[in-house]
Amino acid sequence: MAVVPNNSNLPRHVAIIMDGNGRWAQRRHLPRQAGHVAGVNAVREVVRQACDIGLENLTLFAFSSENWKRPAREVGALMGLFRLYFRNDLDEIVQRGARVRIIGNRGRVEEDIRQMIEDAERRTLANTGMNLTFAFDYGGQEEIAAAARELARAAADGRLDPETITPELLSSRLFTSGLPEPDLVIRTSGERRLSNFLLWQSAYAELMFVDTLWPDFGREEFLDALDKFSRRERRFGALPESVA
């Protein structure tokens, strides 16, 4: 059984690509939506556990900017579950002291969801516990393009000298501004790709791909990922201390 790594070995920021709901349902001869329902239970457990172990930042990929390409019925079901999750779980999140942020394009979601997002962020704004971020209608390329557009506009207006554009400045224009970059990105379901998730921010993240389908991802597996992370050697382009 994996044990909780001590705080110094805990990643500051874990980001998870929650994949495999559809296949989980298919294997049970259930409609894909049933997989998404089961996926919400896994979200609840992982959020609780992350709070329990004192993780500082947890980011969950819930809906990509490309997921609109799915059949309207599935998109509708996912939107419905998002609503349900916030209606059912926000009180517990508030009570656990977590601070909610939703990153993504708010212009495309329905008005009631946009208001729900704003309400969740407002209600948890003063919380000082874990930063709990949901990537919802999120795409990394779109995010970077929007930041570039904003800087270009400022430069065109004469408010910004292009020479002063640094990675830090661009970072500060991303949805994730203020959050540390993810140290660990986990993707479930055996797929080995980022699917447009936190492209800029994951420059030096440790990537971990696990075969478990998201609805089956539980506490034990989360701990196991943290344990494996604590034994990885991160170099950031430099040499390890033992060699330098």
Site membership for ligand IPE, residue 17 (CB under 6 A): yes
Q: Binding pattern to ligand IPE, positions 185-224, x when CB under 6 A?
A: ----x-x-x-x------------------x----------
Site membership for Mg ion, residue 19 (CB under 5 A): yes
Total residues in contact with ligand IPE, by rule CB under 6 A = 18
Site membership for Mg ion, residue 64 (CB under 5 A): no
Q: Which of 49, 55, 58, 61 binds ligand IPE (CB under 6 A)?
A: 61
Would you name the residues annotated as active-site residues? Answer: 19, 67
Which positions ≥6 away from 102 have C-beta within 8 Å? 117, 120, 121, 133, 134, 135, 136
Q: Considering CB distances under 5 to 8 angstroms, the limit depending on partner class, which of ligand IPE, Mg ion, none binds residue 104? A: none
Using the minimum distance from each CB to ligand IPE, give the nearer residue, 21 or 57.
21
Using the minimum distance from each CB to ligand IPE, give the nearer residue, 57 or 196.
196
Site membership for Mg ion, residue 187 (CB under 5 A): no
Using the minimum distance from each CB to ligand IPE, give the nearer residue, 36 or 99.
36
Site membership for ligand IPE, residue 182 (CB under 6 A): no
- Sole residue written with tokens 């003063």: 126
Q: Considering CB distances under 5 to 8 angstroms, the limit depending on partner class, which of Mg ion, ligand IPE, none binds residue 18? A: ligand IPE
- Report the residue number whose CB is nearest to ligand IPE: 22
Site membership for ligand IPE, residue 143 (CB under 6 A): no
Binding positions for ligand IPE, rule: CB under 6 A: 17-23, 61-64, 67, 78, 189, 191, 193, 195, 214
